[in-house]
Structure 1
Amino acid sequence: MNVTPHVLDPAGGCPHAANARLLTQGAVAPVLLPGGVEGMAVLGHDALRDFLSHPEVAKDARHFTALADGHIPEGWPLRTFATVQGMTTADGADHRRLRGLVGKAFTARRVEALRPRVEAVTAGLLDGLAAAAREGGGVADLRRHYALPLPLGVICELLGVDAEYRDRLHHLSNQVVATDIGPEQALAANRELVEVLAAVAAARTARPGDDLTSALIAARDDGGDRLSQPELIGTLILMIIAGHETTLNLITNAVRALCAHRDQLALLLDGRAAWADAVEETLRWDSPVSYFPFRYPTRDLTVDGTLIPKGTPVLAGYSAAGRDEKTHGPDAGRFDLTRAPAAKHLSLGHGPHYCLGAPLARMEATIALRSLFTRFPDLTLATPEPDLPRHASFVGNSVRTLPVRPV
């Protein structure tokens, strides 16, 4: 039986209504990507868990049939997800090599050592949020003044990125994950992102420090066989984007959820639920990433009764899996901090490509939420939830601005 592909809206929008409809039809759905490119999305929790760890599913774009056949233009908005050189597009030994080089910065010990710095940055940002609200007649954009600068500042410090580059890097990474931009704009954003990060690498080459970029450069220069220049730049691109865009969306979505569910916020403020629970339930209920590109079956693969042909670009439907009633029960659409079992979601990935920065993202979001609502327990949204402008991407899942009244 032929099923009409679900057309993914390049302008993004809230994914949950479409996800619910698709899930009633099955765990896997054909989708139409920008430019009429045919793909598939795995939406069901169990099907996605198995697919993410399947030994015959690859990340290397040489398995992407349409790309190999020359049918994907240079300015295709999702091309970077397929072609950037780094650990998210590598398999096997290459993936282990690249992950090993970066992983040392994200051990439990290294992340815990960052806690005092994250708490100090958070305190300063809360002062800035309060000041912005005073200047704005009682209203401030929480995303701009709080949810963004925390993870962006932390990842840039880890990478040794000078402050002068940070705003530009956020803008460019936002362009890269957008799905509604034209070919010329996409090409220009990717070109400039490579140029900016090459300048960052050049600065760290001239002045090495105790940062991840300097360590990667040392690996690159260690005989040239541990890390190539394209892999260095590709790794920096991935670290910048993954290191702040997802945590930015996570914090934003959690604040939205708690403002809309005051009973759940009361559990946190009264100590009847842990702030970490709010992070995990947000990851499940409103995943910061909706449809993540790409994986490719290396042979024809049947997933939950649906054939996915070899070489098909497949999206990981994290936002759909989080509300899959077959896994989370008939109340999967309800935001509930007391839900059991806790933390049963796939929003940080699964299998060999599980998010390397998960411990850091969890720590940043937990500190951000606890600090925000401890200082401003009566914080409310200044714009009704339905009127908030959505992120212009079906990859990222959040809103572009979050006007709040802190006091």
Structure 2
Amino acid sequence: MSTSAADGPFVIDPTGADVQGDAARIRARGPAARVLLPGGVPAWAVGDPALLRRLLTDDRVSKDGYLHWPPLINGEVGPEWQLFVWIAVRNMLTAYGDDHHRLRRLISSAFTVRRTAALRPRVEAIVAELLDELAAVPPGEPVDLRERFAYPLPIQVICELFGITDEAAREEIRACVDTFFRTTATPEEVAAAYPRLQAVLRALIEEKRARPADDMSSDLIAARDGGSTLSEQELVDTLVLFVSAGHETTVNLLDNAIHAMLTRPDQLALVRTGRATWNDVIEETLRAEPPIANLPLRFAVEDIELDGGVAFRKGDAILACYAAAGRDPGLHGDDADAFDVTRAGKEHMAFGYGVHYCLGAPLARLEAAIALPALFGRFPDLALAVPAEELRPLASFISHGHAALPVRLRP
């Protein structure tokens, strides 16, 4: 196997202490770099935008580890591995070829532009409710905006969309999803989280089978029971996908966009004076501070020879490095690290690329486009409650955001 990287693989830091620094170090090793994932599992990290786009649209690259990754096939990685759920689920996230097309067709009707637009009044109402709750906080008192605003909006939207009304179930879902994204989780936590979440969702399915409602869970169950090719495991794991990815990315998008505005008053001034828009803020956040920094995993279906001497051998694992790609100087110039809402080209792959492009992207953008102007309009004196350098990142090399975002809403 040839390599374009420096001698020795780059060890991925599971703590996520310096996501952007690691992204730069991966980029510096060439279009594809040999890395070690948690547990010493080898992979290729791809942060070059051109190569990443090429691989994400190549039929010789799969997301189905059961078919194409020897360590999973041979039992060398198991439920205690930190990334196990990312390769073990049976849904369109991991499906390959015809299976992916079948599952995506079944789900895509839920996230059409028209259906997403129809959610606008409800999103606006939830945002208004959250802002009213924040307005009750005494002046000068710190409040965690990630916990009180960035998190509850998308989780409320996705739970309503899928008919998850039980508060205890929502809290259990959150705990499990946090474990999936927290790449410092212990083997015991990892091994317990996936079965726990499956149990919650199987209970939801049982309830919806008995009492169907106007929600996506009931629609999927009806398709399954009505003779579609959706298996029971695929039904459960499709719900796993949507209740996890359906909110985590939007939480981080809101978190990172708010942080960017509070730490760059010149950029916020451009928006407030009409020289840039909130959509500019959203797209530049997705480019420079993507909600998902690195997405595991894809697998080479066969040997893939590339220009520059890099070769992926059959069965090699591939890590998609969206944070590295978003700040690539070859695509965005020497100021690629700068956050600039007036940047002419904000090209990014924060929602993926190709056949696995995120179906929920329009919904995430809609939520951010409503939430951000409403928040800064309601609280024009919004400011961080601690120095920016004291903020802690999420303990993850996958999920990119802050553990907390303490602010003061007014002086």
**Selected match of 1:246 from 249, 256, 274:** 249
1-structure distance, mates of 2:84, 2:95: 15
State the one-letter code of the partner of 1:358: A
Tell me whether 1:91 sits opposite 2:84 in the alignment.
Answer: no
The residue aligned with 2:161 is 158
The residue aligned with 1:13 is 17
**Selected match of 1:301 from 299, 304, 325:** 304
The residue aligned with 2:84 is 79
Tell me whether 1:203 sits opposite 2:207 in the alignment.
Answer: yes
Q: Identity percentage over the alignment?
A: 48
State the one-letter code of the partner of 1:392: A
Q: How far off its partner does 1:169 sit? A: 1.0
1-structure distance, mates of 2:242, 2:151: 15
The residue aligned with 1:30 is 34
State the one-letter code of the partner of 1:123: A
1-structure distance, mates of 2:18, 2:82: 20
Tell me whether 1:269 sits opposite 2:272 in the alignment.
Answer: yes
The residue aligned with 1:340 is 344
TM-score of the aligned structures, taking structure 1 as reference length: 0.96
Structure 1 unaligned runs (5+)?
none
The residue aligned with 1:364 is 367
1:254-333 equivalences under 5 Å are 254-303=257-306, 305=308, 306-333=310-337
1-structure distance, mates of 2:29, 2:192: 39
1:185-224 equivalences under 5 Å are 185-223=189-227
The residue aligned with 1:4 is 8
State the one-letter code of the partner of 2:163: G
2-structure distance, mates of 1:357, 1:190: 22
The question of whether the paired residues in 1 share the 8 Å contact of 2:79 and 2:85 is answered with no
**Selected match of 1:398 from 398, 401, 407:** 401
1-structure distance, mates of 2:281, 2:192: 38
The residue aligned with 1:120 is 125
Q: How far off its partner does 1:303 sit? A: 4.2
State the one-letter code of the partner of 2:84: R
2-structure distance, mates of 1:229, 1:83: 15
State the one-letter code of the partner of 2:278: W
2-structure distance, mates of 1:49, 1:385: 34
Q: Deviations over 1:17-49 (max 9, x none)?
A: 122222122121111011111111111111111
The question of whether the paired residues in 1 share the 8 Å contact of 2:63 and 2:299 is answered with yes
The DSSP-based 3-state class of the residue aligned with 2:398 is coil
The residue aligned with 1:46 is 50
Q: Deviations over 1:98-156 (max 9, x none)?
A: 1111111110100101001101100111112232x328x52100000000010000011
The residue aligned with 1:57 is 61
State the one-letter code of the partner of 1:90: A
1-structure distance, mates of 2:128, 2:192: 36
**Superposed CA RMSD:** 1.3
Q: How far off its partner does 1:174 sit? A: 0.8
The runs of at least 4 consecutive aligned structure 1 residues that moved more than 6 Å come to none
Tell me whether 1:148 sits opposite 2:151 in the alignment.
Answer: yes
The DSSP-based 3-state class of the residue aligned with 2:138 is helix
